Structure 1
């Protein structure tokens, strides 16, 4: 018998002064049985960084044809495709052909550098792809925010972001840019 996803609920308040986006989102997050708290919370942080009324969680690990998050326009065209982790270059290239913008957020510290060296040659040619790597320890710190029911606050100002709750100190979301823009 296959294991089922665990459902998490999060109320996420976002104050993004850089984009002038302010919103409250009630999120339902399905955590795949093979997913860690760290990866799930990186997905939540990515939601906060790119938040809009049409951004949504996808099947991600459960479906190879969908990213972790995407934003579609009113016609169904994929505007933003967001991958979490270290996808192979074929998956990134496929996403690049299907979406206006692709963002990859690696979070595994030094192993992200090794992964980037392996995919860099092919990914650098893709014009609509941005690749970030969270600094060492950021993913782990985000994982400590995970609770079955969460009330989270994200603040973004001057290119810096933090995600926190009433019970855990805010985590500064520091990232390096392998390819593309910092924001």
Structure 2
């Protein structure tokens, strides 16, 4: 139990910087080329759903804090995609909507049954999110502006989170969600190395 709590806190701390390399990469390039908007939106719904569901269930912060921080960073990435696609008005409207939802959950204005439904849907949502991005990578034979550092941290985090979910919650929904996410994150991680030489060839042309 102690190891699980320490590991959970470590995952939460690491999640604060999980997508920062990705955010910086998009900012420096002033482009989100190769990053699927739908994939990021679905990932955001899954992360926000896990954080909201766990908060509502009263689980310890170390068990769901990473999902909250990941959701915040995914929100920023979605805003970047919209902003650099000349849809800045949608980016700021999206920002307002996300924080309205956060305060609704904190204020217990969102029914528990709805949060449970979101968490249950988190599994197919996660599969869809990762599959869409993996397919886009395959189609373009490139990982585009995706960050290898973020992908590596995400893979390690989901693997560790399977263990902490078993130890701290015993919640089958959470365990299944993280286990499936770990497998799909592994696929995305491997794609960086599959398409590494292809990306180099494109730059040399």
TM-score over 0.5 (shorter chain): no
Write 1 or 2 for the structure with the bigger share of helix: 2
TM-score, L = length of structure 1: 0.25
RCO (CA 8 Å, sep 6+): is it higher in 1 or 2? 2
